[in-house]
Structure 1
């Protein structure tokens, strides 16, 4: 019998990090409920995810689902010049998934009975007996443990560290996907088995293939069924220029991102023209073929605290780091796995487990944030992003790790 049988946990945020935490807590014996702020299922949102060991660990160790069915893979990391010539190539295997594919798999394992949509957590209080979360709907939930996995705009972070503020990097990420079969033969051949980079002054783009939405009986992971995914980093000054760009087609200003189909046409047109002029032709073909590109504001934030009594912050809620190390989902999963281990080793004392768990995760956040800030500065402002430099490799714990 688990020491947590009969204990309750509330996870605030039903994305990949929140679902990973919920599954691990349930394995410890907690009765877990997940509360997601959006009113409709998250399926299909977002683009590609680089799968690092912590991200996929649930499926390799505890799930009956086969991880091979969830990802694509490539064998090379390559840099292209403006004539599509490969100027640096390193044999290094990486695997990828799409946000929707991975989310669906985690939700299938957790189930929907205790997964609540349309519940926006706006505050919490706690005492020695439990923590109570308040929701905009008027609902309140009291649990022995509350895990906030509610992303970079976390409502709980301000309670734990009021000084932690979002800091704009000076650039945005244009993102999108294109069905691989819509690309030219030459582009498919050049990009299909690699992470590909095109580095230009004050900018770079990264591309790799992810699972597509294939028909019945198909996984979407085979060449031709896949999507080519990319993120292109472009400088936009803070202030009126950025604010105007983040007003969507409905006239609603955004702070973190604009979703597919919401970016004003004039910005999409300019982005496509710039891609054709600046990037390697294969990369430009992918960008210009994207039907509904979208924009992600690249920002940093790190809380100096991740635990307070019975309340924990994980993933982007605790540390939102630039995507250059492809470690965002890995960090959320690593936080969840470390929390599970600390709780397992504790004698049922939730607060003591959180105190033990916090220091190492804070240190991991600090190291990751320092590294990705340097990577971004090298690319976007210092122009010292050198093709093939091993210090620029993906990895949560360090380059290539």
Structure 2
């Protein structure tokens, strides 16, 4: 089965690669025409523009990818793991040899808006240009001014580790034809200014769809899939559906619940753990209250979702839930409450919690096994932690208690089996 998992996407990519050569030929990538006017150096030194760019870089969480653990901010020096190999993250400080020191704004705009490097080479979509293309010219200029204001750091990029056929950049021509639509965000005149601001931030700099949507075997997300939830590649976490309407991952969440989670890392409906904790810590806690309310306004407008299929067989569900209720009473109820209500500001509720009810059960299983911390934020400097239970509970007990909390109270999610718990138990911690 392992070789089959490798063969199917590889054959599919070869087909796409061949299609790319047929449709686009073997010609070199041509640079996108530059923006209308050259940016003068004095403009990039404007303190107000730099301050705006610093804020927008935080909104986009640029440092989250472009900073090696323990390294200088924005200096790269790391590689992003993908199902297709490791892709180096570039240095975006103004070092003239290893960074953006010799880049013009037109070069930067081409990368952000068109997904093309300084010399017209196609960029791998680990750089989220599929979302950043929506960023407008003025905001892109501000971000570039901020990056150019940083102290230059000499940090050569790590070597890429992409095996054939993924290392063939020309294959990206066909990939882009399938998954990339270049173009700035266009406001919807039928919506409010607040809604449009939220849509712009979520779809563009926030690049929320890059995690909160499922990807296919080629690593792409279809154009009509938007914030419907998906497993994050290589990280073994599930980014939930973000609709707050019927059957959505945030069903029942108020606008204030969304704002609270993004600002502090916790709300009356749940707590940020895993990759989202890092996003809150490095990005969303720094977003203005006005922009956070705009984001909430947009998320609350997302359409309702179809209900999930009835999970498992009635016998499986009853058996696991009965066993899990006993485990829950012994290990969980003291903190999370007999009815899964939690303790406000201390222990998150489990009833109606999107991390508990997401389709796969990965998040709840990993939290029971490994525990974790909510993010430290300015508004929540001493968050409570979740202890790990991997040493205390067997795979069967974890499966039972996770199934119980996913089906108790108002929750109606799929069951989790012991085999799945075993897989997560032996997955290295990211």
Task: Bin the TM-score by the shorter chain.
Answer: under 0.3
The structure with the largest alpha-carbon Rg is 2
TM-score with structure 2 length normalisation? 0.22
Which structure: greater strand fraction? 1
TM-score with structure 1 length normalisation? 0.24
Which structure: greater helix fraction? 2
Work out which structure has the larger RCO, using CA pairs closer than 8 Å and 6 or more positions apart in sequence: 1
